[in-house]
Chain A
Amino acid sequence: MAGFVLRRALLVLPSLFGLLIVTFLLIRMVPADPAAALAGDNATPAQVQAIREQMGLDQPLPAQFLRYLGDVARLDFGNSSYSSRPVALDIRERLPATLELTFAALLIATVLGVPLGVIAAVHHNRWPDFLLRVLSVAGIAMAAFWLAIMLQMLFAMRLGWLPLRGQLSVGLTAPDGPTGSVLLDSLIAGRLDIFTDALRHLVLPAVTLSLGGLATITRFTRAGVLETLQKDFVGYGRAVGVPRRRLVWIYVLRNSVVATVTQIGLLFGGLIAGAVVVESIYDWPGIGSYTVQAILTADSKVMLAVTLLIGLIYAVVNILTDMVHALIDPRLRDEG
C-alpha cells in the first residue's frame, strides 16, 4: 500500500510540470498585457515598456519560464501585478474559504446522494425511482446561478431565515486561528456566536454548489446498487435470512460504492471549479472570485499559481480516492 501511494505521488510531479508548461504557454498566447493596464490612460509606449521591464515581461519566453520555475521550486509564486501582494499570501487567505465551501457541498451531496441512490435502486422502476431520476437530471441540468438567485429570493428575502451573501455578518470578525477556516477557528476559539453565524452564511452557497454533485452521486449509487443486487451473494443472503435492511445498506452498498467513491473524488475537483460561479453570486471570499478577477486583469502569476494549486488538489484527491478504494475493496488492496 505504501509503495503504491509513493509511486502515485511521484507521478504527480511530472503531471504538475506539464500543467505548468501548458498554462504558461496558454497565458502568454493571450495578447493581454497587464503592463498596459497598469500604466494608465495616456501612458506612452515607453512608460508601458518600463513597467514591462519591471515585471520581467520583456525577457524571452523560455527565460521567463525558467525564472518562474526556479521561483516555484522555492515556493515563491511571485507578487500579483495588481494587488502587489505575494500570490501565496492571497491564496493562503482565500483557500480555506473555498475548501470550507467545497467540503460542505461534498458532504451534503454525499450524505443525501448515497441514500437517495440506494432508495432509487431498491425501488427500481417504481415511483420513487422515477421521481429521483427526474430530480437528478434536473439537478445536473440546473444552472447554479439560477438556483442561487432562487434560494436567495426564498430564504434570504421572502423568509428572512438565512443571510443573502458573504461569509460573516458585518460587525463580526473571524478569530485568528491555525486553519484559516472561519468555522474551525471559531470552534477552536470557543466563539459559538461566530461559528453559528458562519454556518448560517454557508448554508445557501453550499446547497447551491452541492446540487450537481448530489445528482451525480445519486445516479452512480443507483447504478452500482442495481448491478450488485443482481449478484449471487444477495440471493444467498436473502436465503439465509439476513434482514433486508442490513443486506441492502451494508453488504450491497459496500459492494456498490467503488464507482461512487471515484465520482466523489472527481467531484471534489469539479466543485472547486464550480465554486467560481457560486462564490461570485454569494460574495464568498474564496479563490474562485479571486481567479476570475485575475483572468479579467491578465494577472498571470495568480492564474499560474491557482492552476498549479487546483492541479495539486486534483492529484492528491485522486491518490486519496485510490486509497479509499483499497480500504473498501480488499481485492484492490491485495493487488496494490
Chain B
Amino acid sequence: MRLTRREAATLAFAALVAGPMRGHAATPGILVRSDGQPVNLDPHQIFDVPMMGFALNVYDGLYRYENNPPELKPWLAESHTVSEDGLDWTFKLRGGAKFHDGAPLTAEDVVFSFRRVLAIGKAPASAFLPILKPENVTAPDETTVRFRLEKAYGPFLAAIPIVAIVNAKLVQANVKGDDNGTAWLATADAGSGAYSVVAGSVTPSEKLDLERFAGHFMGWSDNPSPINKVAMRSVKETSTGVLGLMNGSIDMTDSYLPTDQVEQIQASKVARVEKHPSMRTFIIRMNNGRAPFNNLNLRKAFAHAFNYDGFINEILKGYADRDPTPLPNGIWGYPKGAQGYDYDLDKARDYLKKAQAEGFSLRTPVKIHIQSQLEQTNQAAQLFQSDLASLGVRLQIVADTWANISTNVAAADSSPDMWIHWVSTYFVDPENWIGQMYDSQFHGTWKASSFYKNPKVDELLRRARGLVKQEERAPLYEEATKLIMADCVDVWIYNTVELRGVSNRVGGYRFCPVGGGGEMRWLQLKA
C-alpha cells in the first residue's frame, strides 16, 4: 500500500502526539513536588511559607523545630547558655558540618549569616533588628557564637531557626558592589542542608532541582533509603496539581489543599491526603482604631454573628479545629478553659442594638477585604455577609490583594474595616501571635492591623517579651489573652488542619507546623 504525502504526515503527527499510552506518569527515582517555590532562593531576603519549605532542605540553622507539636531541637548547635539577665546568649556548635562545596561550617559562617540578615534588613531580620546590633554577634573560637542583645528578648531562642546559615566565603566571593551577594544568592545555593540545588536548574518561581547531599552533618542512618533527586515544579492552579497527583506526574502537592478535593484523592488508589493539625490561625480582623469597630458592642455583635461550626463543618468539611482565641490551640500561654464567642444571632442582635444606641448606623455598609486569589477568604466573607444581612447589617465584600492590604494597614484611617488572613507559624512562641498582633507598638504592620490599644495588655506583652523563662512568661500571656478576648478585638475562627496530597509511592512523611511538612530528609520513594 502506498501512502500519499498527506497521509504519511498525518500518521506521523498522530504518532508523535499520541506517543505511548500512559496511565501512570510517575518519574522513576525522582520525587516531584508542586509546592510553591520561593521567588528568590536567598533565605536572608525572603521569609514566607515557600521559603521555609525550601530552606529546611537546603540550609541548616542553629536550632530546628521538629515534630507536631513542634519541639525546638539543637541542630548545628549542640547546646546553648543564656545569662541570668537574658542579654548574653552563647551557642556551642557541633563539629563536622560541611557546606555543599565541602568547606567546613564554622562559627564565622554563623556570625556572617546573622550580620548579613541584619544588613539586608528584610523579612527574616524583623525579629532581630530591634534587639541585635551586627557587631554584637561574635565568634570567640571556631565552635562558639555569642550574641549580646540590646535588651532581653524572651522569644530570641524561638526565633533562632529563622536564620539560615550560609557559606560566608562563597557569598563574599559573589558580592557585587554593596549588594551583599543578594543578586547571586537569589538563584544559587550556599547551604549545608540535606539537599543541594542542582546548578543551572533554577527558573525562579517555576522550577528547581535538588539532589541529596550525602555529606549532611546529621548523616542518613535514620533513613536507609532516602530520595536522591527531587524536582520542584511550581503548580499555579489547584486543579492541575490534583490532576497531576492522580495521574502520578506529581508526588506531593502543597499543604493547603482545598477541602473539597480531599474525598476525590482519598478515593483514588494512587494517592492519599496527609492531614495534620497545625498552628496556623484563621482570623477576621476588625479595625478597632476607628469607627465603626471602635465600638465594643459592635465587635461583640459581629463575633456572635459568625457561624463558626457551619464554616468549619460544612464549608471546610471538618478539616479545621475551632479556636476561639488569638493563640493557636495547645501552645503554652493559652488560657485554660477559654470559651470565646459562639454563633448566636440573638446575642448578636442584642449587642447590635446597644451599638446602634451608641451611634452605629445600619445604613453605613461595613467593608470586608478578601484576598481574591484565596477562595476561602471569600467563602468566609460570604457566610458572614449572609448572617449579618439577617440582622440588617450590610457587609460589602471587597476583592483585594495581599500587596494592597499590607500597604493600606500602615495607618488606621487607610486600613480596611475588616479583612481576613491566616497567621502562619514562623516561630513557636506566643510572640508570633498575640505579641506581634496586639502590642500597640506594632501598629502599622499587617499583624497589628486591628489597631487595638490597651495599656494593660501592652504592659503584659512587653513584660513577657523581656523575660526568658517560659514559666514566668506563660501567665503573662494567659492574662493578656483573656483581656484581648474580653475586648473582642477580632473574630478568631480556627486552627488549620494542613492537607497535603501525597502519592502512595512516597513513604516516611513527617509533619511539623514550622515549614508545613516540607522537610524531606525522612522521605522514601517506593519503586
Contact = CB atoms under 8 A, between A and B. Distances in A.
Chain B associates with chain A:
yes
B236 A42 contact: no
B264 interface: no
B236 A289 contact: yes
B18 A84 contact: no
B205 A293 contact: yes
Contacts of B183: 79, 84-86
B17 A83 contact: no
Nearest to B441: A44
B16 A200 contact: yes
Given A164-B249, A170-B32, A173-B201, 8 more contacts: A41-B426, A41-B446, A44-B442, A83-B39, A152-B243, A160-B22, A165-B235, A173-B200
Given A42-B127, A47-B129, A293-B205, A83 B40 contact: yes
Given A32-B401, A36-B407, A152-B243, A41 B447 contact: yes
B318 to A, nearest CB: 27
A208 to B, nearest CB: 12
Interface stretch (B101-109, B116-124, B329-337): B116-124
B408 A42 contact: no
Contacts of B187: 85
Interface of B: 16-19, 21-23, 25, 27, 30, 32, 39-40, 42, 45-47, 121-127, 129-130, 182-183, 186-187, 200-201, 203-207, 231, 233-237, 239-240, 243-244, 246-247, 249, 373, 401-404, 406-408, 410, 414, 426, 436, 442, 444-448
Interface in A130-183: 145, 149, 152-153, 156-157, 159-166, 169-171, 173
Contacts of A298: 401, 403-404, 407
Q: Which 5 A-B pairs have CB atoms at the shortest separation, nearest pair first?
A: A40-B123, A40-B126, A32-B403, A298-B403, A33-B407
Contacts of B237: 145, 280-281, 283
Nearest to A289: B236
Nearest to B203: A285
Nearest to B127: A42
A200 B236 CA distance: 20
B408 A90 contact: no
B188 to A, nearest CB: 11
A220 B45 CA distance: 52
A165 B249 contact: yes
Contacts of B234: 283
B183 to A, nearest CB: 6
A296 interface: yes
A51 B17 CA distance: 50
A77 interface: no
A297 B403 contact: yes
Given A40-B125, A41-B426, A296-B401, A161 B21 contact: yes
Nearest to A202: B17
Given A285-B207, A296-B401, A36 B39 contact: no
Contacts of B186: 83-85
A304 to B, nearest CB: 15
B297 to A, nearest CB: 30
Contact of A84 (B45, B247, B426): B45
Contacts of A76: none
Given A39-B122, A45-B410, A149 B239 contact: yes
A314 B182 CA distance: 35
A4 to B, nearest CB: 38
A41 B126 contact: yes
Contacts of B233: 165-166, 170, 283
Contacts of A295: 401
A37 B30 contact: no
Contacts of A41: 123, 126, 426, 436, 445-447
Contacts of B206: 283, 285, 289
Given A44-B444, A47-B126, A93 B240 contact: no
A167 to B, nearest CB: 9
A34 interface: yes
Contacts of A14: none
Contact of B404 (A32, A149, A164, A169): A32
A178 to B, nearest CB: 17
11 contacts: A40-B122, A40-B126, A41-B447, A42-B445, A44-B130, A83-B186, A171-B30, A199-B16, A200-B17, A203-B17, A281-B239
